[in-house]
Copies of this chain bind each other. A is one copy, B any other.
């Protein structure tokens, strides 16, 4: 009887296509509700457009159009002037989940999974039954048009229509989705996403035709940032299973060339040290074991591979090369914050790169205080992409929460929060997101540490400025006090001395003005204060800077 049950159970076993899986679990990809669905579709399109333009060194012109065709049914178009996609790749890129060029490359890119754009196609057909329309040209005068869906059971493109048109010379991609969505203009909307994208990609020109009219985000700089370069994997981040696979697949004839050519930062000395520690040795002169540099990778057993992984832990290797990263830099962060937020004070920092699991990453932070900034805000970016959801579980929020802002004179408790916008950008060859929807960064200790250090560095700058502000305010108050009583004082002195009351009053005011400058309580120039503050602080700057850092004593 049990045999019967086991066989009956076996008869129900079957493979689940990755499309079926994500169709049913679409909230994992961010399609939890209609407003978010619109954001996801636009985001996947724009991220791909920016990646492609960047790779082809083209200053990106991005066009986004959103139009309500029926209640909750929207036509969403994303177009670019990138290099375009060759004809035979279009169906696979749009019609197959887990397909793409970015998953295996160690280089900072917006996309990394090969899931995003095909899931936008999947969501569209699921909710409206409509195929996605794609036009593309690579600049050869031919425009390829596809109308396609995802064949869910097979996870393959299902081409509904296909045509080629001659004559128009252009390059780029334009994709149109018809999906069940909702249009919003709140903090988690398409508009906000594009606004923040414009901050972190000032070299892009973005036009958004929304149901509420046209929004234009003008190009702020006309030079592309340096192209990040692809790097080889670093041994400190390679796990046994991956190493075994590389050993089986390599064309290298010897372990020495395998280690030196397929990984970054492994020199001959390091390779020898790894081989020796892993016991991949041969008898040298006098029977003494020496590293067997010519050992064939294909002959490495599972056990040897495990010893290599163990050996690597104790071998000092130079950090992975960093040209794979493309940080924004402090200049761009500050100009972006000033342009978009018009604050009174701005500070920023770009930390040196670090690594987690062998993958390089880098943290940048900025603070914008006062002025048009009226309340607390946090804006998060990963590889130049704004993160609008899941703030609660993000490593960035955690770092902000764990920073002791009081030490820097900043109020950040539940009841009172200073008017401060915190900006954090994490860039990496592989951002560890908490889910496929790429909304929050996983809580790796080293990442949190770096973010906190960046925030502290900015907070120190803010703290100096704030204490200067407070001193200036005090000076202004004291001066106005003197001025207020100048009349009475002059009257009293005039009675005693017999001198003219007006003369005495003028002298008192001259004295006050001479001592505290040409300022009045009504018209305090912030630049003035800044200057006073700087002079005042300059001498004890070094000392205080150290003392104010809560981490420095640890």
Binding site for B on A (CB under 8 A): 1-3, 5-7, 9-10, 12-18, 20-21, 23-25, 27-28, 32, 52, 55-56, 83-86, 88-89, 92-93, 96, 98-101, 103-105, 113-114, 122, 125-130, 138-140, 152-153, 171, 239-242, 244-245, 302-303, 305-306, 390, 392-393, 430, 432, 434-436, 442
Contact = CB atoms under 8 A, between A and B. Distances in A.
A28 B241 contact: no
B9 A101 contact: yes
A5 B55 CA distance: 9
A141 to B, nearest CB: 10
Given A15-B98, A98-B16, A442-B27, A171 B2 contact: yes
A126 B239 contact: yes
Contacts of A17: 98
A104 B17 CA distance: 11
A100 B13 contact: yes
Nearest to A153: B245
A20 B103 contact: yes
A135 to B, nearest CB: 14
A449 B25 CA distance: 22
Contacts of A96: 15
A105 B392 contact: no
Contacts of A88: 10
A213 to B, nearest CB: 29
Contacts of A126: 239-242
B6 A239 contact: no
Given A13-B93, A98-B16, A127 B2 contact: no
B13 A89 contact: yes
7 closest A-B pairs by CB:
A126-B241, A12-B101, A6-B138, A2-B139, A16-B98, A129-B302, A10-B86
A111 to B, nearest CB: 12
Contacts of A18: 18, 98
Given A6-B86, A240-B127, A306-B128, A99 B15 contact: yes
Contact of A83 (B6, B12, B89): B6
B241 A13 contact: no
Contact of A85 (B6, B89, B125, B432): B6
B435 A28 contact: yes
A92 B55 CA distance: 40
Given A27-B432, A55-B9, A435-B434, A3 B138 contact: yes
A173 to B, nearest CB: 10
A16 B240 contact: no
A147 to B, nearest CB: 12
Contact of A14 (B5, B32, B99, B434): B99
Contact of A241 (B84, B125, B171): B125
A17 B305 CA distance: 23
A114 B25 CA distance: 13
14 contacts: A1-B139, A2-B83, A2-B138, A5-B55, A6-B86, A6-B171, A9-B55, A15-B96, A17-B98, A20-B103, A23-B242, A126-B242, A127-B240, A153-B245
Given A99-B15, A152-B245, A241-B23, A3 B139 contact: yes
Given A6-B56, A13-B92, 10 more contacts: A6-B84, A10-B86, A14-B104, A15-B98, A16-B100, A28-B435, A129-B244, A129-B306, A130-B302, A392-B392
